[in-house]
Every structure is written in C-alpha cells, then in structure tokens.
Amino acid sequence: MIGVKNFYVTIDDCRFYFRPIDPTDKELLQKGFSQLSENSKYFRFFAVHSKLTDYELKFFTEIDGINHIAWGILDESFNDHIPVGVGRFVRIKDEPEIAEVAYIVVDSYQGKGLGQYLFAILNMIGARAGLKKFRYYVLSENTKALKMLYQLGILRIISDDSIKIIESGVFPDYKFIPKIPELRNVRSVMKKVGEYMFLST
C-alpha cells in the first residue's frame, strides 16, 4: 500500500495530532470513551455503558493495519495527550471489497470538522486498500449522519429499520466528492489530508 504519515492540524487554536491506533492506546481509548455523552455512546454503539470491556479494548486497539484500520485524534495543545476522536473500518471477510466503517468524536470537540478528517483518512486509505464500498450502521434518529450519506450518494440500503444499514462508495480523493455546497468543506478537508499524509502519489 502507498506510504502514509501522521500529521498535525491546528483548528481554533487547538493542535490536533492524527495517527493510527496501536495496542498501547487502551488507556487513551478508555479515557476518550469516558468523555462521551450518553447520546454519543448510543449513536455509536446503539447502547449505553459506563466503560469499554477488555474484549472491546483489545479489538479496538490490536489491529492488523490491512483489514482493520483505525486512526485516532489527540489534542496536544497543552503538552498533554487528550483523546478526542477515532475512525475505523473493518473489511468484511466474505466481501473483501466492502468494509464496515464508524466514526466518533468526543462531544466537547464536535463542530470543529474533526469527523471530516477521519472520513477523509479512511476513504483515502480504503480506496488504496482495494475497497469499493463502505457499509454504515446508522440509527434512524441520527439525522446528521444520514443527511451526509444521502449527499454523498447511497449505493444500496440493506435495511431501513430503526438501525439503517447503508452502503456508500469509497472516495479515493476530493475530486470524487459530489460538487454540491453542502459538501464543500468535506472536499476541502479531503484535499488537505491528501497533501498531509501521503508520501507519494
């Protein structure tokens, strides 16, 4: 796969560090989880519990970097490492061109566009890993996420119940994002990410 590198972005005077998740991140991941509101936990995990289990921590951090990709965001503005977001995809074993994808940003950091960076990272890495589709599991009341998926262009709706299962394309770079006003920021972020993290083209 094409080489990638970690990178920093400054937003609203905060210095954010984007890098892959590794097995040493269990404590950071648990710390980030503890900062999530019940609503955010419910939207991401479809349930609310006080902390991640040992099994979840192992699954979320001990990844192979090929079929399971995960990137995290740290706020390093104050010489500390504050976990603020994670995005990941897991390739479906029997459908190797499709991966299940999910994103989460800590509530106090939402609204800064950090989720767009995670979206860009996973799409660009996914495309280079041979993925053609991302499969999203979205609660029907998560209207913000659903709106973005419809703007991006839905390829297939597998389930339209309380938990919607939706497939969308994988976008290799910003040029593939629909040119509509609502996605202008996504296109801009994706262009930046391509410049930041790829060692060659």
Q: Classify residue 199: in a domain, yes or no.
A: no
Quote the crossing angle between the two packed helices 114-128 and 184-197, to the nearest 10°: 60
- pLDDT, residue 201, reads 43
Task: Give me the domain span that covers residue 43.
Answer: 7-193
- pLDDT, residue 188, reads 97
Q: Classify residue 19: in a domain, yes or no.
A: yes
Q: Report the chain (201 residues): mean pLDDT per 10 consecutive residues.
A: 83 95 97 96 92 96 95 92 97 97 96 96 96 97 94 94 96 96 96 84 43
Q: How far apart are CA 163 and CA 181, in angstroms?
A: 28
Q: How many domains does the chain have?
A: 1
Which strand ranges, in their side-by-side order, compose the sheet holding 14-20?
7-11, 14-20, 68-75, 82-92, 95-105, 133-139, 163-169, 154-160
- pLDDT, residue 2, reads 55
- CATH number of the domain residue 78 falls in: 3.40.630.30
Q: Classify residue 200: in a domain, yes or no.
A: no
Q: Classify residue 50: in a domain, yes or no.
A: yes
Give this prediction's pTM.
Answer: 0.94
Q: Where are the alpha helices (DSSP H) in the chain?
A: 26-34, 38-45, 54-61, 114-128, 143-152, 184-197
- pLDDT, residue 199, reads 59
